[in-house]
Amino acid sequence: MNARVAGPAQPRPSAACIPAAPDPLRTDSTMKISAKTEYAAIAAVELARRNDAGEPVRIRTICEAQGVPARFLVHILLQLKAAGIVTSTRGVGGGYRLAREPGEITLRDVHEAVEGQAEAAGAVTRGLARRSRAAAVLASAWSDAARAESDSLASITLADLVDRCRASSESMYYI
C-alpha cells in the first residue's frame, strides 16, 4: 500500500528512517491517509525506536529526527496520550514515551487514536441501502474493504516498523 498524505507540505525527514530502496511490499494501490495519521504514525515509530533507552523523548527531538512540524505534533501526542498509546512526563527531562511495548501497539491503534473508528459505508450508500439493491451490495463491499484495511493495519506493529527502519538503514551506503 502506498500512502497518499492529504494536508500541508511535509518537511524533509532526517536519515533516521528513510528507506534506501523502494519497498518490495508496496503495490500500485493507494490508501488515503490524512496528514494527522501520518504524523502520528511517524511520531509513534520514533518513540518506538527510542523505547529501549527508557527515557522520555522531547517533542523537539521527534521533530528534528523525523521532520514533523511541532505545531501538529503537540496536538497529535495529546490524542495518542488520551488513547493510552503514549505517556508523558513534565518538567526537566520530561517528554513522551510509549505506554506499552512497541510490539503491542499497531498502526490501527494509532490510526483510531487520531481519526476515530472508520465508517464502513458512506452516508449516501447507507441512506440508499434500504431502497436500492445496488447500494445495499455496495455497502457490503465497502464494509468488506474497511474490514480488510483495518485487519491490515492491525497486523503491523510499531516493532515491525522499527525493524523495517533498521533494515533499511543497514542497507544504506554512503559515498
Structural domain that includes position 21: 2-170
**Whole-structure pTM value:** 0.76
The pLDDT of residue 175 is: 53
As given in the structure block, the three cell numbers for residue 131 are 431502497
> Does position 164 have pLDDT exceeding 60, yes or no?
yes
Q: Within a domain: residue 175?
A: no
Query: pLDDT (tens digit, 9 = 90+) per residue, 113-156?
Result: 999 877 655 666 666 767 788 878 887 888 888 889 999 999 99
What's the total number of domains in the chain? 1
Q: Within a domain: residue 98?
A: yes
Q: Within a domain: residue 93?
A: yes
- CATH code (residue 36): 1.10.10.10
Q: In 10 A of CB 53, how many CB atoms? A: 9
